[in-house]
Each structure stands twice: as C-alpha cells, then as structure tokens.
C-alpha cells in the first residue's frame, strides 16, 4: 500500500489505479452518505438541497484526487452552499463537523500529491469565505456567537491535516529519491565493473592474440630472406599469409580500442558484402574449391543500401563458415551464394563430402561429410554466428545435408525489399 501511495504521490497524480479509485471513492461515498442526512436533519437544509450539497461535498474528495483544481473548487462551493442554506442556530456553523472532515479530506489529498500550495490557497479561501458568511449573518441580526469557536476549530484541524499530509508527501518523495539514487549507484558500479572487465579482456587479447599474430606476420614476411631455395609460388604464398596477418592485426587493434574506450565504436573500415570476392579468393588460395553465386553484387538491387551492421554480420558468417571448412573439411567442394528471397537476403554456404577428413573440435575424428561450414564441434562458431544474425534482426539455420556435407543459411532483413513491397514494386 505504501508503494502504491508513493507512486501515486510521486508521478501518478492525475491517474488513479483500481486501489486508488476504491479508496477515494469509498471516502466520497461515506462523506455523502453521512453529510446528506446530517444536513437535512441537524442543519435544517431542505432535502433536495441537502442531497446536492452532500454529493458535491463528498465527491470533491474524489475529484481532488484526479482533478485537483476542480476538486478544490467543488469543496469551496459546497462549504459556501452549506453555510448559506443552514441556520447558525441549528448546530455547528458555518462549518459543520462533516464539512470539516470533507475539507480536511481535500487538503490531505492535495498535500499527498505534493500540491501543498494549492492546498494552502484552498484553506485560506475557505476560511475567508466562511468568515465573510459569519459577518454577513451578524450584520443581518442573527446570533453567530458559536461561529468564532467553530471557525477556530475548523481552521486549526484542517490546517493540521494539510501540514501532516505535506510532511508525509515529502517523506515519500525523499524515499523515492533515495531509491532512485541507490539504483543509479548500482548501475554506475556495474558499469565500472564492466569497464574493468573489458579492459582485462583487451589486455589478454593484446598479450596473447595480437602478439601471436605479430609473430605470424614477421615470420611470413621474413621467410623469403631466411629460407633458401623458395620458388615464386612459395614466396607468393608467404606474402599472402603476411597480408592476411596484417589485416587481422588492423581489425584486432580496432577491437582493442573499443574494449579499452568502453562505449566507442570501431573506427577502422569494417568488411562488407563487397569484400566477399576477396574473402573467397583468399580461401581458394588455401586450397579450397569454391563455386560462388554472387552475381554480380553491384547489380543486386538494394545490396548497397543494406546497413553496415547487416553487411558485416553476413560477411562474418561467410568468414566463419569458410574457416570451418578449411579446418574440418579439407578437400570438400564449397558453394557460396547470396540472393534476395522476398523481403530477406539469404547467404548460403554449403560444403559437400570431403575427400580428406580432418580433426573436429578438440581432437575427435568425425565423418568428413559432417564437418565443414558449421560443424565447429567443441567451439563457439555456431553460437557466434547465430548471435550475430539475431543482433541485426536476422536468423541462421544450419545442419547436415543429404549425401554428406553441411549447409548454413543466414537470413537478413532487406530494407529495400520491404520498401518495394510497400510501394507495390517487384524485385
């Protein structure tokens, strides 16, 4: 209940949930139910007028909870109406007991909402109006001797109600602020820990992976000078290894920069679908027979319009799939295709049965036909590809194909295709 009141007082001042409607509605009905017969019997107000004034007086509390200004105005109107319709000789006047309770209810409602200024104005206007009514009655020759005591009691009790409500609202406000500050502190602490973890990962990658890649680059570059009798093909092979090592180091430096800087992005140009032919050529140089259907990329509608993140995800899927072929299915023939299918762009990497099987994962031997594009036994390649495609709103399917081999199909959303479909165009 305290949380409901806190949320209502802090941010939901003009919207009541079901508990609020029940609570304030119950107060309004109770005040009306007591006020109507009290006005009719004790104050001598005509029954129809008592009914209207009782409903307005009780309903002002509920109205103040959803429309504070209107609720305050309704309460003031009810107070003036009751003072005008009742007689000073009929009982507590000009503010009967039910009127005190109703005014206190409105002031408490305003105070809990944090609208204490409106509450003070409402209280002052009510007292001024009732004092004016007493002065008018005295000028007309009526006995208003008890009005002074009634006004003192009514003014003090309603003012106290407003003060308590305002203090409670401030306490709730402080409680909410403390909770929000604590949550913000936890978020910042988690962020600091995450930054520290990123920095640790960056150090490990620099010390292990980047160092190893630097050694590979150095050995491949100096091979022609260290080894005698290398023919032109061997020199070209070493030069290709050196170039790929340089590319890997460039990407590694960009990744390390992102890890160290925290929320930065990769500044170095990232691979795109236009780089697929170069990737296929490099894989062919490693001895893999590849048949490609990329025909031609620049003529495929909308490929150039794909977001860089989508192009990078598809490129990395192709790269990982071909790497698995090289590791696990040497000698297998590979097909790589890229085509638009409806509102998606499909990248297919498929390898047949390998002539020479390789080791899978952490050392176990397996059927060559079951290795290749997506087998990656014991590794994280499949999960990484699926996560990449999911991050751009796509999906990835993988599995064995009849006759031996593996197939991976990455599906990415095609914004150009969606625009064509909305415009009634055809691909």
Each residue's pLDDT tens digit, 166-209:
999 999 888 989 999 999 989 888 888 887 887 777 777 766 67
Specify whether the backbone of 332 is left (phi greater than 0), alpha (psi in -120 to 50) or beta.
beta
Question: Using an 8 Å Cβ cutoff, are 178 and 10 in contact?
Answer: no
Euclidean distance between CA atoms 252 and 146, whole angstroms: 90
Closest-CA residue to 392 (of 415, 417, 421, 420) = 415
Euclidean distance between CA atoms 239 and 228, whole angstroms: 16
The total of other beta-carbon atoms located within 10 Å of residue 76's CB is 18
Closest-CA residue to 391 (of 277, 312, 338, 337) = 312
- CA angle (312 as vertex; 311, 318 as ends), nearest 5: 90
Q: What is the DSSP letter of 208?
A: I
In tens, the pLDDT along 402-426 reads 878 889 999 998 766 555 555 544 3
pLDDT over threshold 80, residue 337: yes
Q: Which pLDDT belongs to residue 380?
A: 65
The band of 303, judged by pLDDT with boundaries at 50, 70 and 90, is: low
Contacts of residue 395, Cβ cutoff 8 Å, sequence gap at least 6? 386, 389, 410, 411
Euclidean distance between CA atoms 119 and 423, whole angstroms: 58
pLDDT over threshold 80, residue 37: yes
pLDDT over threshold 50, residue 31: yes
Domain boundaries, the chain: 2-186, 272-427
Residue with tokens 């698995």: 324
Euclidean distance between CA atoms 361 and 379, whole angstroms: 6
- CA angle (354 as vertex; 352, 356 as ends), nearest 5: 175
Q: Which pLDDT belongs to residue 64?
A: 93
The total of other beta-carbon atoms located within 10 Å of residue 118's CB is 19
Rounded alpha-carbon distances, angstroms, from residue 391 to 171, 314, 339, 387, 419: 44, 11, 20, 6, 21
Q: Which helix (H) or strand (E) holds 359?
A: strand 359-360
Q: Which pLDDT belongs to residue 58?
A: 93
If DSSP states are collapsed to H, E and C, what string results for 61-74? HHHHHHCHHHHHHH
Q: Is 88 in a helix, a strand, or coil?
A: helix
Domain 272-427 has CATH 3.30.1330.10: no
pTM for the structure as a whole: 0.49
Once rounded to an integer, what is the mean pLDDT over residues 298-320? 78
In tens, the pLDDT along 124-153 reads 999 999 999 999 988 888 878 788 899 999
- CA angle (411 as vertex; 405, 414 as ends), nearest 5: 150
């Amino acid at each position: 209940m305290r949380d409901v009141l806190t949320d209502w007082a802090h941010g939901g001042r003009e919207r009541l949930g079901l508990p609020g409607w029940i609570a304030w509605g119950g107060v309004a009905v109770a005040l009306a139910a007591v006020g109507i017969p009290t006005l009719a019997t004790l104050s001598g107000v005509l029954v129809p007028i008592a009914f209207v004034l009782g409903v307005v007086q009780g309903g002002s509390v509920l109205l103040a909870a959803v429309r504070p200004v209107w609720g305050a105005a309704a309460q003031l109107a009810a107070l003036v109406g009751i003072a005008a319709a009742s007689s000073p000789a009929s009982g507590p006047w000009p503010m009967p007991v039910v009127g005190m309770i109703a005014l206190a209810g409105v002031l408490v409602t305003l105070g809990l909402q944090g609208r204490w200024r409106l509450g003070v104005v409402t209280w002052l206007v009510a007292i001024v109006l009732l004092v004016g009514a007493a002065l008018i009655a005295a000028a007309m020759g009526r006995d208003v001797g008890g009005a002074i005591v009634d006004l003192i009691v009514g003014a003090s009790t309603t003012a106290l109600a407003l003060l308590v409500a305002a203090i409670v609202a401030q306490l709730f406000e402080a409680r909410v602020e403390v909770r929000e500050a604590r949550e913000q502190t936890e978020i910042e602490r988690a962020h600091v820990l995450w930054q520290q973890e990123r920095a640790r990962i960056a150090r490990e990658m620099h010390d292990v992976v980047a160092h190893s890649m630097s050694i590979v680059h150095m050995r491949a570059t100096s091979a022609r000078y260290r080894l005698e009798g290398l023919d032109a093909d061997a020199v070209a092979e070493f030069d290709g290894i050196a170039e790929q090592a340089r590319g890997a180091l460039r990407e590694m430096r960009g990744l390390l920069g992102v890890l160290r800087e925290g929320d930065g992005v990769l500044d170095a140009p990232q691979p795109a679908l236009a780089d697929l032919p170069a990737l296929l050529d490099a894989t062919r140089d490693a001895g893999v027979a590849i048949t490609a259907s990329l025909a031609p990329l620049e003529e495929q509608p909308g490929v150039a319009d794909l977001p860089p993140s989508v192009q990078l995800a598809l490129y990395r899927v192709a790269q990982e799939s071909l790497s698995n072929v090289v590791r696990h299915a040497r000698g297998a023939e590979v097909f790589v295709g890229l085509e638009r299918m409806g509102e998606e762009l499909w990248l297919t990497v498929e390898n047949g049965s390998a002539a020479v099987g390789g080791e899978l994962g952490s050392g176990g031997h397996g059927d060559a036909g079951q290795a290749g594009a997506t087998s990656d036994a014991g590794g994280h390649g499949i999960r990484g590809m699926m996560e990449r495609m999911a991050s751009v709103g796509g999906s990835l399917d993988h599995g064995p194909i009849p006759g031996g081999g593996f197939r991976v199909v990455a599906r990415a959303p095609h914004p150009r295709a969606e625009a064509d479909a909305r415009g009634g165009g055809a691909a």
